[in-house]
Amino acid sequence: MTGLSALVRRVTWPSVAAHKGRSLLTLAGIAIGVGVFLAVRLANVSITEAFATSLDLFAGSAQLTVSRPGFGLDETLLPLIEADPAVARAEPQVVGTLVTADPAREILLVYGIDVLRSRPTTASIDAAGGDGEDQGFLGEDDALLVTRRFAQGRGLRVGDRLEVLAGSRRASLRIRGLLVPAEAEGERGGSASGFLERTVAVMDLAAAQPLLDRVGRLDAVALTLREGADADAVRARLTAALPDGVVVDRPIERSGQVDQMLDAFRLNLTILSLIALLVGVLLVYNTLTFSVVQRRREIGILRAIGVSRRGVEAAFLAEGVAYGAAGGLLGVLLGLALAKGTLGAMARTVSVLYLHAPVERLRVDAGDLLLGLAVGVLVSAAAAFAPARAAAGVPPREPIALGAARSDTGRAGRRRARRLALAGLAILTFAGLLAALPPWHGRPLGGYGAAFVVLVAALLVAPVLVLAVGRAARPLVGRLGGPAARLAADHFVQGLRRNAATVAALSVSLAMLVSVWIMVSAFRATVEAWIAQSVRADLVVTPAARLGGSREASLPAGVVERIRALPGVAEVDAFRGADVRYEGSPIVLGSGDLALQLRRGRLPFMAGTPADVLDEVVARRGALVSESFARRFDRWVGSTITLDLPAGRRSYPVVGVFYDYTTDRGLVVLDAATYVADTGRRDVQSAAVYLEPGADLEGARRSLESLFGPDAAVAVVSNRELRARVLDIFDQTFAITFALELIAVVVSAIAVVNTLVASTIERQAELGILRAIGLGRADIGRLVRAEAGLIAGAASLLGVVVGIALSLILVFVINRQAFGWTIQYHLPPEALATAAALAVGTALVAATWPARRAAAQPIAQAVRYE
């Protein structure tokens, strides 16, 4: 080891120290890669844990939970549950969301509990809160407990009022106590978390049920079992004793359901984050390769004085590991900052798409940070492997005439490049095979594998591309830019290995950007066309709380009849829906007036004409399923689906499969009459209003808005606004994706700077001689910029081609398998052009500093460098 440390001290360190700028850039690349990877992981974990702790708030010690997904548990079952001899405590709760009525529109996650039997397990109640004496709030319909931080943040005190939107109503609640994390109080044992998300709130069940529209129903009953009870036996007993559709599970499985729901979403982000890491790897490879080339002479001398091959290899590996460790450390810090910054955006996306995520605090444990560091070290070590091997291959005392610069574009180099390219093309068939694989446990692993193989192929093809571009560019740039540019083209080819790595790094990130761009743009166009076709109503009436992010809000009773009676209204369709389970997985069950759809709408079907399908669904009491449902469960027209509904177990023939992009969980639609009969639920989540021909839209909107009285919180949205809103949500969803892509581009820009700086240093002597024989400073600058332009050109070419290939995988394999929807593929030319321009622009900006540096070098010093 002393040998190695001496080597590192004498060989590695001076090189690192001598090229501070390049070393820093390499570090930055790794740091960004590790940072993005860690940030995505932390945000994912935080969202999962936020659900877990919010489940803990009132069921921290519960071993089992009884619930009735979609429709709520009939509360009269509680005595039966409580009577089980193994049940020590049965704690009923409803959980819903309220939205603050102020413009901030904060979503409160409200737990309605029986305050006589339940106490928060992770919080204590500070009822005094400053003024006023301790008074029980039992029996007050407006009593609300909020977290102390929520109250402080809004300047609220105990006794103050808080205006909220509850479903389609406006309600004025009174803060009757503050929730304080148990830890701070040091009582009730305080679970590990001891943390309260700021926006949780508590009410008594009697007050919460009418407010959250849950009268007669419970969302969960948390069961604490007696010591020694066999939870599985209790579960089996209760499942047998309770009606079909009631689910008895362990709390961990409930957060498991959340995990399952978010799985595709999170996997996607994780894979994207790995791209940034991959670019970081290429950067390390780039730096070390250059370092080896530059120090061949030194290495030869070292070998001559007795340092073993293994010793040389170890020294370069150590350099890679050192970059990895330092970059990983920086990356961990960056990851923490990034995760803090993006958590809110991710939580919002999850809330909009899946279920309310009360996420606010970043959960960090040492394991995650160590993982980030380890990932940094491992990928850098892996990236250092090939250069280290190359260094070890340098023979002792190699006679070196011209110091650093060595061209590897000799015949051997060219042959090697061609072989690599052939290998790259060969593995593309493997990518094709992977893409054809079915999903694995609902995950499009084959698709991700195919995408990875395509990227590897791109790396393998890069050297040949560099040769080809260099050769092709030489006469062309010569004509345009004179001798300096021709020199650039030569040099571009000469630094094959390094430039190939740079081109590869830039093209990989460009390819990802291009592919996601194509996919998102095609997806957006598909959704836009779909919504234009499927949403035909002039106005949509929906609870304001729903627009504020509350997923379960309903409209006031009798709303459809009242709207229908308004002048100018031709027809009204009521949409109902519930989150239910099918074969144990969460899906959405919905209903509408399908006869009306037949007259008015043009539901886009995958098969069959809408008229036939809709006729059949009404006549046969059948079900329509969304494409995502059909794909996920493999239920197509002709099959039968069975659901446990409040009226009992019901089977429906699938009579149509329609395109839908509202949920990747899968959507089953019944006719309104069937839905109401089989679920017993009449509450309407939104209503679509069709006006008489020629009716005044704004007039109709005003009369709808005043229909529900001053206490109502009902939003009336026009067709155009609704479409805009859907696209807004769409854009918001993909904002994170784009951010990750841009970060990858930034990392590759660093790679370009790195390469160019290295290149100018490497050629200082040459540049000095060029200056000496009469080239101006401007010429030198142009030369460096031209080389940058060639790198960018090659990368754009490769990036766009690979990007298109990846986009096909994303659209036809990954999205279809993970989310189950069909995207109408098309190539947006502006995306391709912008990506290419971005690459060239990035390279030219990146070249500025190296160009200036090269040009500013005094001739004498440059020559002396030799």
Q: Which chain residues interact with other proteins by CB under 8 A?
A: 75-76, 78-79, 82-83, 85-86, 88, 92, 114-117, 134-136, 138-141, 174, 204-207, 209-210, 215-216, 225-230
Closest contact distance (angstroms) between CB of 195 and other proteins is 25
Name the residue nearer to other proteins (CB basis): 143 or 431. 143
Closest contact distance (angstroms) between CB of 254 and other proteins is 23
Separation CA 613–CA 619 (nearest Å) = 10
Name the residue nearer to other proteins (CB basis): 414 or 682. 682
Name the residue nearer to other proteins (CB basis): 211 or 747. 211
Under a CB-based contact definition with an 8 Å cutoff, are residues 697 and 718 in contact?
Answer: yes
Separation CA 193–CA 691 (nearest Å) = 53
Under a CB-based contact definition with an 8 Å cutoff, are residues 86 and 229 in contact?
Answer: yes
Cα 287 to Cα 473, 489, 499: the distances in Å are 25, 21, 11
Closest contact distance (angstroms) between CB of 172 and other proteins is 12
Name the residue nearer to other proteins (CB basis): 227 or 634. 227
Q: How many residues does the chain have?
A: 866
Closest contact distance (angstroms) between CB of 226 and other proteins is 5
| 792 three-class SS | helix
Closest contact distance (angstroms) between CB of 705 and other proteins is 26
The DSSP bridge partners found for residue 181 are 123
Closest contact distance (angstroms) between CB of 648 and other proteins is 21
Separation CA 9–CA 15 (nearest Å) = 10
Name the residue nearer to other proteins (CB basis): 85 or 638. 85
Separation CA 734–CA 819 (nearest Å) = 14
The CA-based angle 10-12-16, given to 5 degrees, is: 120
Backbone φ, ψ for residue 117 (5° rounding)? -120, -20
Closest contact distance (angstroms) between CB of 220 and other proteins is 15
Region at 603 (left for phi over 0; alpha for psi -120 to 50; beta for the rest):
beta
Name the residue nearer to other proteins (CB basis): 92 or 470. 92
Separation CA 295–CA 298 (nearest Å) = 5
* Helix residue spans in 399-495 (DSSP H): 411-435, 445-494
Closest contact distance (angstroms) between CB of 148 and other proteins is 20
Of 277, 268, 270, 275, the closest CA to residue 35 belongs to 277
Cα 411 to Cα 23, 402, 439: the distances in Å are 32, 19, 45
Closest contact distance (angstroms) between CB of 164 and other proteins is 17
Closest contact distance (angstroms) between CB of 117 and other proteins is 7
Q: Both tokens of residue 271?
A: 């894979």
Name the residue nearer to other proteins (CB basis): 131 or 227. 227
Question: Which residue's structure tokens are 């260099």?
Answer: 470
Name the residue nearer to other proteins (CB basis): 103 or 228. 228
Name the residue nearer to other proteins (CB basis): 126 or 197. 126
Name the residue nearer to other proteins (CB basis): 115 or 747. 115
Q: Both tokens of residue 488?
A: 């650039």
Name the residue nearer to other proteins (CB basis): 213 or 319. 213
Separation CA 725–CA 731 (nearest Å) = 10
Closest contact distance (angstroms) between CB of 92 and other proteins is 8
From the CA atom positions of the chain, what is the Rg in Å? 32
Backbone φ, ψ for residue 131 (5° rounding)? -110, 165
Separation CA 384–CA 284 (nearest Å) = 7
